Structure 1
Amino acid sequence: MITRRGFMTLVGGGFASFAALGGYAFAVEPLARLSIARYRVIPPGWTPGLKLRLVALADLHACEPWMPADRIISICKRANSLGGDAILLLGDYASGMNFVTRHVHSSEWSKALSTLQAPLGVHAVMGNHDWWEDRTAQKSGGGETFAHRALMGVGIEVHSNRAIRLEKDGFGFWIAGLEDQLALRPGKIWNRRRMAGLDDLDGTLAQVTDEAPVILLAHEPDIFPKVPPRVSLTLSGHTHGGQVRLAGYSPVVPSRFGDRYAYGHIVEEDRNLIVSGGLGCSIAPVRLGVPPEIVVVDLG
């Protein structure tokens, strides 16, 4: 039979453990950790002899104190050291939280991202928060956001339903980037009753003019069931791995598919998707079991 002292010790120990776990999730994992998630993929029909390394960054959500400009520069320095043939930015550069001491201006985070370097360039798509934080873009229902302009202003390729052909060692491949699938919020403007996307998968892939492999950048992974086998690899962010992921499961995921596309390498019907756990935080500055990460993908 447990004594009163034993009961109080048990309760006190449980409270201390809970407090320590909360402190870690709030102050350590989001701020002090940076992991490298590595994947090796040989998609069906991949060009023999084409060896390609892609380095991907997702969901920075620039703000202070969680993701200031100097931390972004440090992340970029680490990304540059990983030997990527191309560096891919998967959207959500703007903050998605109110728990901030200061919002980092697009001129600051884009200047930090301009330090990224790769032989085949730096390529970006937009995320939902890049659209949601731009009231002018919401009113116009399209066009360019401040995030588009900031990235293009520092020389970063922005793909808005656009595909381009690149070459490495004489072998061609395509990078195709979708505009965001949740770009326009509900509201009185344009009588929108639900989220509206500006993505055009068919139109983007129609720009591919040969049989070279296609790498698709899509901020939200929910597009994946519609992606044809012609695409060798789809890369996404958005979910943050749920921000809390324990025993390989995320209880809350911003996806209509729940945990199905929450994180990691997913293979369905010989089609490949990799979902990054991202770098920053959205809604609340908490991460547990899914530390900020840079993704490295070796193809071929």
Structure 2
Amino acid sequence: MYKTISIFVLILLTYLAINIYIGWHGLYALSYFSANIIHTVYWVIFFVVAFSYLFGRIKVLPGSIRRFMQLIGSYYFAVMEFAIILLPLADLVAWFLRIADVPFNTYMPILIAAVSLLFLGLLVWGSWNAWVPIVRTYEIDIDKPAGDLQELRIAVASDLHLGNIVENRHLTRLVERVKDMQPDLVLLPGDVIDDVIEPFMRKEMSKVMSQLQAPFGIYAVPGNHDYYGGHIKEYVKQMEAIGIRVLQDESVLIHDSFYLAGRKDKAAETIDPAGRVSVQELLQDLNVTRPIIMMDHQPYHFDKAAAAGVDLLLCGHTHRGQFAPNHWITRRVFELDWGYMLKEKMHVIVSSGFGTWGPPIRLASRCEILELIVRFRS
């Protein structure tokens, strides 16, 4: 308990120190152009914004206020990360100019303008990447027969994060792109909702999701955020009511041709009283001479899936860091944080996701839908 409190205090103090640094630069920039800034008012507003995501989690506040605070706080996370990158660079440039005896009033307005434009440009560019989907196509050959099925077209969309930020407008983009693909099968590898199911139900997002259609069906697996709100049973119920089956350590034989297996998320190991089974247990009764496609939200232990006989593994979770330079971290944490790899004979694809967590901003990643063209041995 003491260790947990100590870690929390350390994180809080670090966050506070970072934001004092950011806030001071903001105050300095405003004061440069106007001497009428009331410092106390500025700092109150600044810290309300800086902690607004946390305030939005306080359940005693009215729902509309909490949603607004979470929205502001989500965007501020992006601003804070950009500030951590840009402000030290701006300080370094200002220091060099000062020791070079460049007049203060010559470089300071240009430096403030340059940093402000960079902030704005990153936010606009990041918003475009987050809200405008790209379709990525992968063609895969599986050296197993699939009955009379020669080719399978699959639409894949992971990490929708439907909630107070990613709403029906963005979900409609998914429906429209998938319709254009005319897939045989639609797969959703986790994190369909963003922690809580209340906005999904309040905004009747199931009506939009029900427009997804495919001859071989629509399947999902739980992601960590589907568990976090404690509404996994209601989530499964809502999905199944619109014809989307959520596979929880289950497998199905589709079209008497190939298996589709779906794992519970890794979070189930601590959140779900039933835990989750291993890949070997999940697949032990399957005929491995048939093609096996598996969804597992978090991209871990590829070697175990390959050894169990999986031919195509589909994952999400990483968002590819969502915005730079986080992708440098995910690249080192995961064996594959985005894209395609061949693990022994198993094809692995990790998607950067369709929605976003926190700020609807993407840099070094795109909002994506996957189109898989899978060919089987004749």
- Same fold at TM > 0.5: yes
State the 1:10 CA deviation. Answer: 5.8
Asked if structure 1 preserves the Cα contact closer than 8 Å seen for 2:306 and 2:343, the reply is no
Instruction: Summarize deviations over 1:150-202 as a string: whole Å, max 9, x none.
Output: 111111122111111123xxx7111111111112557xx98xxxxx9524312
- Counting only pairs closer than 5 Å after superposition, residues 1-300 of structure 1 correspond to structure 2 as 3-4=102-103, 7-8=107-108, 11-12=111-112, 14-24=114-124, 27-31=127-131, 33-43=132-142, 45-47=143-145, 50-64=150-164, 66-96=165-195, 103-105=199-201, 108-134=204-230, 145-167=233-255, 172-183=257-268, 185=270, 198-209=276-287, 211-229=289-307, 230-245=309-324, 250-253=327-330, 258-300=333-375
Aligned residues: 271
> Distance in 2 between the 1:2 and 1:197 partners?
65
More helix by share: 2
Which stretch of the first structure deviates more once superposed, 21-30 or 226-235? Answer: 21-30
Matches of 2:289 and 2:203 in 1, distance apart? 39
Q: Which of the pair has the greater relative contact order for Cα pairs under 8 Å at 6+ separation?
A: 1
Cα distance in 2 for residues equivalent to 1:259 and 1:20: 31
Measured after TM superposition, the shift of residue 93 of structure 1 is 1.6
Gaps of 5+ in 2: 1-99
CA displacement 1:254-294 (0-9 Å, x = unmatched): x9x61432111022223221011111112443311212111
CA distance change for structure 1 residues 269 and 154 in 2, over 3 Å: closer, same or farther? same
Identity %: 24
Deviation digits for residues 233-269 of structure 1 (CA, Å, limit 9, x no counterpart): 10011111110256xx81343x9x6143211102222
> Normalization by structure 1: what TM-score?
0.79
What is the TM-score normalised by the length of structure 2?
Answer: 0.64
In structure 1, runs of 5+ residues without a counterpart are 136-143, 191-195
Structure with larger Rg: 2
Contact 1:42 1:299 in 2 (8 A): yes
- The DSSP-based 3-state class of the residue aligned with 1:40 is strand
How far apart, CA to CA, are the structure 2 residues paired with 1:17 and 1:128?
36
Residues 119-160 of structure 1: per-residue CA shift (max 9 Å, x gap): 11111111111111116xxxxxxxx52211111111112211
Q: Write the distance in 2 (CA, Å) between the matches of 1:114 and 1:106.
A: 16
Counterpart CA distance in 2 for 1:8 and 1:297 is 52
1:185/1:284 CA distance change after superposition, 3 Å: farther
Q: Which amino acid aligns with 1:155?
A: G
Cα pair 1:58 1:276 within 8 Å, conserved: yes
Q: Which amino acid aligns with 1:235?
A: L
Aligned counterparts of 1:17 and 1:133: Cα–Cα separation in 2: 38
SS of match in other structure, 1:227: helix
Name whichever structure is richer in strand by fraction: 1
Q: CA RMSD in A?
A: 2.9
Contact 2:298 2:317 in 1 (8 A): yes
2:30 corresponds in structure 1 to none
